[in-house]
Structure 1
Amino acid sequence: MRNDCTGTSRGRAVSMALRVSIPLLAGLALGACADATAPTAPASNPGPAASLLPQTVWTPLFNGTNLSDWTTWLPARGTGSDPERYFQVENGALHVLNVPVTAQEREFGYLTTTTAHSDYRLRLQYRWGDKTFAPRAGQPRDAGVLYHVTGPDGIWPSAVEFQIMEGNTGDLWALNGVNLSTTARSGGDGDPAYDPFGEPLTTAFPAGSYKRVQRAVPLPENAGGWNDLEMIVSGDEAVQVVDGQVTARVTGLRGPDGSPLTSGRIALQAEGAEVYYRNIDLRPLAYTPPPAGATVLLGPDATGADAWQSRAGGPADWPVQGGVMTVNSTAVPGDAASSNDVRSAQAFGDVHLHLEFKVPVTREDLPEQDRGNSGVFLQGRYEVQILDSFGQPLDGRNDLGAVYGQTDATSNAALPAGTWQTYDLQFRAARWQGGQKTEDARVTVYLNGEKVQDDVPIGVSTLLGAPQAESDGPVVLQDHGSAVQFRNIWVAPPDSGS
């Protein structure tokens, strides 16, 4: 049964501010029947051959027992020879430079993975030992994590370095001709410092150069204990995080030959200081291409961009460039009807929806609901929230991963703003008989490869959503005043294994 709607939103007259201040009223306001004129997706769409379930897990990159899948490189020894045991495994940790201190200089080197990696999160813990060695004896202790290591080995190879150093942990180094783009301000020592609101900076370092981008802010270090590092490496972009604080964001990583730098080995430095590493884990990012038979709503090179309409049914006016669609916001605070939402031209029932999104970096002093706010509405009725919730407590049923106003995510799987994130939504539409609803809609939500909603019922339409009805409905992407970006959006029949 379809509603007799015109495509204009009755519920959009509800203040956008109301949505933030009283989320428990979600579903009590009636929204537009955006599905009233949308054609139903073809029933003949074949299902994918493989499982759509995107769940990823943290996998040890270092097993805590031996150096399997790693190898050493030292200038005087080359690959795989470490007779003085610069790199040892002790009590589940990697112990670097547990060797006697002498007047002799200890050569620099590194322990590197034997395979290259791309599109991943890497986390680890480090703590300092007591020893320092010539030529850095008595100087601030220094080490680092190298990623996107390519080309010949050497001191140092072409790579990006996540600096670990007393007083400078979180700096980023572009090694041996690597170049990048970021935003920065003038920092100490003449080097730029990452600033999310600084001036655009695109480097043009020559081969053989070693250049630093200083961390965003000074950070305290647990000098005698363990410190947490994480990096998110996505294509030619990277974000570095120290103890939950973003210290650097870069895009447009390029190798010495100017080609995009999107993969490479991972290495741990020995640079004149005793250091321990443990809990070195890697988790793939859940970037999933559309399977066979999927309906592509937005793909590379703007494939499917014409699959979107304005809320009123005309052409969508969100700009699309390089396969990325950006919210073209007309939202006025306090006037929900001003929102420039877009909707899919097709309507869907039971569905697996995959989309990737990037929330913009905003000032940390803003209220959370003003930071990267958007949402994806299933059937135009049920909103799964999009928000910058990195590092935030989940306590209001309105954070990233929430069914807005109804069910919080079970865990905070958010990545930092400015990073491509993923949603995979396994949706089962409400069931109806004789014009009466007999079963609630249900959804399973995977955020960045982690299941954060497990087949939860959705009893009512969420605030600003269209009223519940027996008809199928479109996918709606919300304009809530933030320039959120979207890419790689596709739908397929739901996977029975969710």
Structure 2
Amino acid sequence: MKNLNQILAITVLLFTFYCCKENKENSIEPTKKETWIKLFNGKNLEGWTPKINGHKLGDNYKNTFIVEDDVLKVSYKNYDSFNNAFGHLFYKKPYSNYKFRMDYRFTGEQVLGGKPWAFKNSGVMIHCEDPKNMGLQQNFPVSIEVQLLGGNDTDARSTGNLCTPGTHVFYKDSLVTEHIIQSSSKTFHGEQWVNLEIEVRNDSIIKHFINGENVLSYTKPHIGGAVNYNQDIWKLKENQPLKGGYISLQSESHPIEFKNIELLEL
């Protein structure tokens, strides 16, 4: 009887061991939590520096970029006329492999003197050149622009497009030298909030997402095309891959608001 009890005890122990082992092997590992960094604190422009055409780096001309109610705004309240004051608000650090996301919406009326094509037009510039190297009269940084467009209540007008100031990319495995590639997004009229996400993988692939939908993908961003400043220098860099750079938000004459600005390093 004693031996039988010992055998039963050993059997129970072995059964428990194998059951636990099998359950452990079949269990699903918990998903690693993504750690998104807040690039905008909702209170002020800490970490961000403006560069506006015709003005020195750091000069927030006529308070173009302001913060109100946890929202970063492009404002033209103090402008009489736009006067080609194309601006960019640069984040303090360059990045190479990451996801960037935010919400945006166009508001109000375009400022007097804005270009017709700049109606409800703005953008997020990625892989930007160092803003310290930009010229006083330089309209746009050499970069990849994720173009943001709002609807005019009538026409189809996609957002999350690609513009290429001083750059080229490959789209559908072919080199594209045209300045704009349109996305497949729908049109967003009025002043509704729209969610943008950008996935950036160095100089390999870049993807644009609007409200969670992949609307554009392209590869091999590199230097190329016209630049209105330091042309000789950029010509020498032509065809060099763009592996990283700064991120900036654009001001192009139409009021726009940004919030929930975050980044995930990959």
TM-score by structure 1 length? 0.40
Deviation larger for 94-103 or 82-91: 94-103
Runs of 4+ in 1 over 2 A off after TM superposition: 53-56, 100-106, 135-140, 151-154
Aligned residue among 187, 198, 201 for 2:174: 201
Matches within 5 A, 1:323-362: none
Aligned residue among 259, 282, 294 for 2:263: 282
**Who is 2:160 aligned against?**
170
Q: CA deviation at 1:212?
A: 0.9
**Who is 1:145 aligned against?**
124
Q: Which has the higher contact order (CA 8 A, sep 6+)?
A: 2
The residue matched to 1:84 in structure 2 has which SS?
helix
Give yes or no for the alignment of 1:252 onto 2:252.
no
Matched-pair contact (CA < 8 Å) for 1:101–1:132: no
Would the alpha carbon gap of residues 173 and 138 (structure 1) be closer, same or farther in structure 2, given more than 3 Å must change? closer
Matches within 5 A, 1:232-381: 232-236=199-203, 237-256=205-224, 257=237, 258-285=239-266
Structure 1: stretches of 5+ with no match in the other structure: 1-26, 28-52, 184-199, 286-498
Distance 1:81 1:101 in 2: 15
Matched-pair contact (CA < 8 Å) for 1:59–1:281: yes
The structure with the greater share of residues assigned to helix is 2
Identity of aligned residues (%): 24
Matched-pair contact (CA < 8 Å) for 2:42–2:69: yes
Structure 2: stretches of 5+ with no match in the other structure: 1-21, 23-30, 151-156, 225-236
Tell me the matched-pair count: 211
**Who is 1:128 aligned against?**
106
Deviation per residue, 1:171-193 (Å, 9 max, x gap): 111111x121121xxxxxxxxxx
Aligned residue among 178, 181, 197 for 2:170: 181
Matched-pair contact (CA < 8 Å) for 2:128–2:247: yes
Q: CA deviation at 1:56?
A: 3.7
Q: CA deviation at 1:135?
A: 2.6
TM-score by structure 2 length? 0.73
Deviation per residue, 1:64-89 (Å, 9 max, x gap): 11111110001221200114100001
Paired AA for residue 161 in structure 1 = E
Deviation per residue, 1:359-383 (Å, 9 max, x gap): xxxxxxxxxxxxxxxxxxxxxxxxx
User: What's the RMSD between the two structures over aligned residues?
Assistant: 2.3
Distance 2:76 2:187 in 1: 25
